Structure 1
Amino acid sequence: MPTHSAATLATPRAPLTVASNDTPSPAADEVLVRVRAVAINPVDWVIQGTGPVTYRWLRTPAVLGSDLAGEVVAVGADVTRFRVGERVFGLATGTDRGRDPLREGAFQEYSTLLERLTSPMPDDLGDEQAAVLPLGLSTAACALFQPQHLGLRMPGTPSSATAPGVVVVWGGSTSVGMNAIQLARAAGYDVVSTASAKNAQTVRALGAETVVDHRSPTAVADLVSAIDGRAVVGAVALGAGSTDACLDVMSRTGGARLAMASTPLSLDALAGRRRLFPAMLPVFTRIGLATLRSTLRARRLGIRAAFVWGSSLRDDEMGPRLWREVVPRLLADGSLRPLPAPLVVGEGLGAVQGALDRQRAGVSAQKVVVRL
């Protein structure tokens, strides 16, 4: 069997090392991709640093990573949408429960993608730009369009003449937030959002009609004022403290659905510790209590709140529609821009561990990318 190189998590919580991996043949519904660029998400270092607790199903050795772009080198028997040599980008789901991270992880020279979670790359889009999209875009789409979350109509769905309402995106300069704003606007919804003063103009340029500073003590009141009595169809909460802030907004505007895409506390300090135990106990206790308080508060307010799992679209009707129809169309007409902007920090699989460390240290309105 042919082999290739992969940035591999050899044992739980170990640094990534470059090792040899078997190059698979694609299954009937897959494409095999020669990976040219990968992007880093917080979940990558969360899995690496806290996986024995947060991803207990994941067995090592494993290849992490969700975001990739490259070209097709083989297609499965049932795939008719792609041809060998075509440039594509897509969502790798290898670290999900029940999947195979050695075949489907992004951080390697060759990876398999499900055809239904893959899109062709426009000629004017570079690998580094395309690689920033998959997980942020998919998570935003799950938050907005899945029935268990906001349940909004997707872009391209026939609409009535009446305005559909307002979407609140708390954390508009995050990867998920930037995509949520663009998708909501493409579907015909108005958007109000938050961002730092540094990133406010970027968020406005994506279509948010009002952007307030999330650090401001009047942020909630400012958003309520901007909504100005219009119907709030839901909110997407991104970042620490965002859930309670969104509940404050919706309690004053009548919104009834909340998609939560962040834990109440960051796991960055815990992920960097040499030992998970006993440091994990107070951290996860605080996360659990904060989540319980917010969930109970939402219930008292009559607001439906649930956490978003960005790759859950793999197994529903929305995922194929998003990746096969909506994404290519929105990229072609300019309604979807590949954001956050790529921050290329290195080349080759040996640079991936440093890229994870760079992302964990913090980036603003950018996405860390490695060229392969």
Structure 2
Amino acid sequence: MSKSQPINRAAYQPAVKADSLEVKSAPYTPAPDNGIVIRNHAIAVNPIDWLIQAKGEIMYKHLIYPCILGLDTAGEVVEVGKNVTRFQKGDRVVGYCRGVDAKVNSSAEGAFQEYTVLLEDFTSHIPSSVSYESASVIPLGLSTASAALFQEDQLALQYPTVPPVPAGKTLLIWGGSTSVGCNAIQLGVAAGYEVFATSSAKNFDLLKKLGASRVFDYKSKTIVRDLTAALKGKTAAGGVAIGNGGAEVLMSVLQASEGQKQIALVSYPVPQTQMNHFVFLRTALSFVSWTIAFKIKGAFNGVKGNYVNASSITHNDVGKAVYVDFLPEALETGAFVPAPEPIVAGKGLESIQTAFNLQKKGVSAKKIVVTL
């Protein structure tokens, strides 16, 4: 290693289903021609991180162990690739880490380390008014929401702008207080759509502050009737389903409404009871059987649904449209705010496993963050 290169450390997932991360020295990877290296100051934890730790042999069979996980980071630029024009050393940025993507599969692009490689098109400046902790909650939620709303195989909505260009349609978001939901509401509004969202009653004010014109209690026994009535006389732009039960409700509502009958499926069906035997087989069976049943029902009702993959935006034009053309200006002007609120679980790479354990317990309208 060159003397001019920083010394890196990382929190490795040492092996398949190893129950604890291992903090140790890690290679420092120089900036690629179209990327940068940042010194991470805050990283966020997502359910997918500890799910990979617990069930990596099912969900991410392509990973090479030991590996560095983590998708959300915010920090300071320390190195710039030769073809990069948007950033310079010292810039404060937030970025989406692609390391676990099957087409990338690179620990250099994982968040759970001191120095991470980010590609220019999936990184944004953050203004001085936004802390690293707040910024770090953005990337995975934003990327997932962007894939759901803007990709051609999903809702294919018009892109967000500052200020918005009215679209004259109404977007439905089931699970508005989740990380993806908070981002989807803001992106939908910025793209010019009226947004109806669901959450528990305690989060109604948050969703309205983020731009939802109406918020509905997902626990209500009349939720299908309420949403259908609210859409009467309007043109639906489709729906985003986050969480159990959302896809079925949105199908019923869209089937009875005018407009696009398409659902972006953010949540994957999983067994609701703990399994100790034949885990892979039973998980796969649950996924396949639910998907087939949903597709058949959708065919009869004229409603389609596709699963959402956040990292897919790094392989098409959506990533640049959001991270380059929209987010920097939106953060600077306040048209987009980091959400949900961060909860700092600790400081240092050693705190990431603690953050995993805290996240497993569940949070509402919050996201777990570790500072470095």
- TM-score in terms of structure 1 length: 0.94
Evaluate the alpha carbon distance shift between residue 283 and residue 318 of structure 1 in structure 2; reply closer, same or farther with a 3 A threshold.
closer
For the Cα contact (< 8 Å) 1:204–1:211, is it kept in 2?
A: yes
Evaluate the alpha carbon distance shift between residue 268 and residue 333 of structure 1 in structure 2; reply closer, same or farther with a 3 A threshold.
farther
Aligned residue for 2:250, secondary structure, equals helix
Note if 1:250 corresponds to 2:250.
Answer: no
1:257-280 CA deviation, whole Å, 9 max, x = no partner?
11000012368956xxxx7x5234
Aligned residue for 2:335, secondary structure, equals coil
Aligned residue for 2:117, secondary structure, equals strand
1:325-352 CA deviation, whole Å, 9 max, x = no partner?
1001211221211000001111100010
Instruction: Give how far 1:245 is off.
Output: 1.1
Note if 1:103 corresponds to 2:108.
Answer: yes
Q: 2:291: which partner in 1?
A: 291
Note if 1:348 corresponds to 2:348.
Answer: yes
Instruction: Give how far 1:299 is off.
Output: 2.2
Determine which of 30, 48, 51 is the counterpart of 1:43.
Answer: 48
Q: How many residues were matched structurally?
A: 366
Q: 2:318: which partner in 1?
A: 318
For the Cα contact (< 8 Å) 1:240–1:265, is it kept in 2?
A: no
For the Cα contact (< 8 Å) 1:46–1:267, is it kept in 2?
A: no
Instruction: Give how far 1:321 is off.
Output: 1.9
Q: 2:9: which partner in 1?
A: 5
Q: Which whole-Å CA distance do the structure 2 matches of 1:294 and 1:335 have between them?
A: 36
Aligned residue for 1:253, secondary structure, equals coil
Determine which of 135, 142, 146 is the counterpart of 1:137.
Answer: 142
Instruction: Give how far 1:186 is off.
Output: 1.1
Q: Which whole-Å CA distance do the structure 1 matches of 2:89 and 2:332 have between them?
A: 22
Q: Which whole-Å CA distance do the structure 1 matches of 2:162 and 2:344 have between them?
A: 36
1:124-150 CA deviation, whole Å, 9 max, x = no partner?
110000000001011111111111100
Q: 2:94: which partner in 1?
A: 89
* Amino acid in structure 1 at the alignment position of 2:323: W
For the Cα contact (< 8 Å) 2:185–2:211, is it kept in 1?
A: yes
Moved more, 174-183 or 247-256: 247-256
Q: Which whole-Å CA distance do the structure 2 matches of 1:229 and 1:239 have between them?
A: 27
Q: Which whole-Å CA distance do the structure 1 matches of 2:24 and 2:247 have between them?
A: 41
Q: Which whole-Å CA distance do the structure 1 matches of 2:273 and 2:347 have between them?
A: 24
Aligned residue for 2:256, secondary structure, equals helix
* Amino acid in structure 1 at the alignment position of 2:244: A
1:5-41 CA deviation, whole Å, 9 max, x = no partner?
1010011111111011110111101100100100011
Determine which of 152, 169, 172 is the counterpart of 2:173.
Answer: 169
Q: 2:206: which partner in 1?
A: 202
Aligned residue for 1:27, secondary structure, equals coil
Instruction: Give how far 1:158 is off.
Output: 9.8
Q: Which whole-Å CA distance do the structure 1 matches of 2:232 and 2:54 have between them?
A: 44
Q: Which whole-Å CA distance do the structure 2 matches of 1:62 and 1:302 have between them?
A: 43
Alignment identity in percent?
Answer: 39
Q: 1:21: which partner in 2?
A: 26
For the Cα contact (< 8 Å) 1:64–1:101, is it kept in 2?
A: no
Question: Unpaired runs of 5+ in structure 2?
Answer: none
Moved more, 312-321 or 257-266: 257-266
Aligned residue for 1:198, secondary structure, equals helix
For the Cα contact (< 8 Å) 1:32–1:73, is it kept in 2?
A: yes
Q: 2:67: which partner in 1?
A: 62
| Two-structure CA RMSD over aligned residues (Å) | 1.8
Q: Which whole-Å CA distance do the structure 2 matches of 1:220 and 1:208 have between them?
A: 18
* Amino acid in structure 1 at the alignment position of 2:281: L
1:85-139 CA deviation, whole Å, 9 max, x = no partner?
1111100000011324320100000010011100011111100000000010111
Evaluate the alpha carbon distance shift between residue 313 and residue 267 of structure 1 in structure 2; reply closer, same or farther with a 3 A threshold.
farther
Evaluate the alpha carbon distance shift between residue 133 and residue 280 of structure 1 in structure 2; reply closer, same or farther with a 3 A threshold.
same
Q: Which whole-Å CA distance do the structure 1 matches of 2:15 and 2:274 have between them?
A: 20
* Amino acid in structure 2 at the alignment position of 1:343: I
Evaluate the alpha carbon distance shift between residue 170 and residue 370 of structure 1 in structure 2; reply closer, same or farther with a 3 A threshold.
same
For the Cα contact (< 8 Å) 1:169–1:235, is it kept in 2?
A: yes
Determine which of 164, 181, 184 is the counterpart of 1:180.
Answer: 184
Instruction: Give how far 1:291 is off.
Output: 1.7
Q: Which whole-Å CA distance do the structure 2 matches of 1:30 and 1:312 have between them?
A: 18
